Structures are given as C-alpha cells and as structure tokens.
Amino acid sequence: MTPKHAEIARKSLILRGASDQVAARLLATARLRSFDRGATIFLQGERASAIYIVVDGWVKLYRIAPNGAEAVMGVFTKGRSIGEAVAFRDDVYPVAAEAATDCELIRIEADAFLRLIREDPGVALSILSSTFAHLHGLVEQIEQLKAQTGAQRLAEFMLELAPCTTGRCDVTLPYDKVLIAGRLGMKPESLSRAIAKLREYGVTVRQNHAEIADIDTLRDYAEEDPAAAWNRNA
C-alpha cells in the first residue's frame, strides 16, 4: 500500500480512533484488493473473516429475500469500512457485497484486529465507535424512508457524498441509477422525478456527476419539515 492508501484508511471509522501505532500495525498486515464492476466481494452467509475499507469506487451491500428479490442495504465509497461488527464476533456476513463499480479495497484480517484487542483492550473503543456509527446510519435511513420525500432523501444522499461543507460543490454519484434508487427506497422512475425536483434547489445531474449550486440551500431543503415538503409535492 502507498501512503495515500494508508491516509484514506486512517480516516475510516474503524481506524479513526486508533493510535498511530495500532493503525500502523494493522495496516502492515493489510492487503490491497482490486475488484472489477459486478465482482463479488463476499456472500451473504459467508464467514466474516475480514474487514474492508473502500479506497476507491463503490461497493453495494444487499440481501436476497426468500422470494428472490434483491434489497439494497447500503452503498459505500472512499473511506467507509465494511464488515467489522460481524467479523469481530466470528459470525457470518448478514449481507452480500458486490463491486458496484471498478473498485479498490483494503482487506484487514479480523484475526489481526482481535490479536491487538487482546494485547490492548483500548483498541476496542475504536470498534465500538464504528459500530455505533453504523447503527446510527441505519436509524437515519429508517427515519428518511418514513419521514422524508424522495427528493429530500436524494438531497441527503448527495450531501453525505459532498466533499464540501458550503458553497458550490461537485459530487460523484454511483453510475448505476438503479443502485441509487434501491439505496433510497425508490423505484427508478421515482428517482428521475426526485432529480427533476432538485433542479429547483440548484442541483443539476449529468450522468454520474451532480453539480450543487449551494450546499446550504440543499441542506435547508433536506432538513425541511417533511409535512411542508409533502404538501408542496402533493
């Protein structure tokens, strides 16, 4: 791995709270893996033997329902960690992971992390922080599905990906619009309507790029009283 890879890994939730020494020891045993678009990273029900950190590209997490339907549970991009909650329990992955685009991932063996925890229980604090952050993210997704319009959910999604905190901003989206729709609990046609709605708030989408005229304007819309937003869309 290059210093750039290590820098991205250090910003992930799983390593953000770790000391430099602990992070260096873990990354010394880590491996960089490349996956082509559509490649399987791990399968639902497979033993969770590793944690992954996304270096570049997009990863889709999904479950297959008993009726065969696919439910997108999340999409992850640069700096996001995957699989830690179950890997530390020697459990199985409750979801499958697929490369939504060509991507690079850092793979850290769970056993390497567990050895460090036994040597230094303080390492567990970074794991707890990561697990809590993932749980908080799931709660937010449920809240969005129940209390926000489709356009507001799309606005929130873009804000999560935005590298800027204010002013004009360009955001790279997953190229597959079906993937975005699944992540946001929409049908593709509903996503198209949501994209059209966001034009009113200074957002222009061209293929997999979104141009946001003003981050604060979009954030105000995303955080607006859902009742008012629903009434306007009625």
Query: What pLDDT score was predicted for residue 141?
Result: 59
pTM of the shown model: 0.74
> What class does CATH assign to 148-233?
mainly alpha
Q: Does 3-144 carry CATH code 2.160.10.10?
A: no
Question: Does the pLDDT of residue 225 top 80, yes or no?
Answer: no
Query: What pLDDT score was predicted for residue 128?
Result: 65
153-181 mean pLDDT = 88
Edge-to-edge strand list for the sheet holding 169-172: 169-172, 209-212, 203-206
Question: Does the pLDDT of residue 85 top 90, yes or no?
Answer: no
Domain ranges of the chain: 3-144, 148-233
Question: Does the pLDDT of residue 230 top 60, yes or no?
Answer: no
Judge contact between 179 and 100, C-beta under 8 A.
Answer: yes
Q: b vs e for 152-177, b when ≥16 Cβ sit within 10 Å of the residue's Cβ? A: bbbbbbbbeebeeeeeebebebbebb
Query: What pLDDT score was predicted for residue 97?
Result: 95
35-39 mean pLDDT = 95
166-192 mean pLDDT = 85
Return the ∠ at Cα 227 (arms to 225 and 232), rounded to 5°: 105
Model confidence pLDDT, tens digit, residues 94-146: 999 999 989 999 999 988 888 877 877 766 666 666 566 656 565 565 555 55
Q: Which helix (H) or strand (E) holds 34?
A: strand 31-35
Comparing 23-37, 86-100, 169-183, 217-231, the range with the smallest average pLDDT is: 217-231
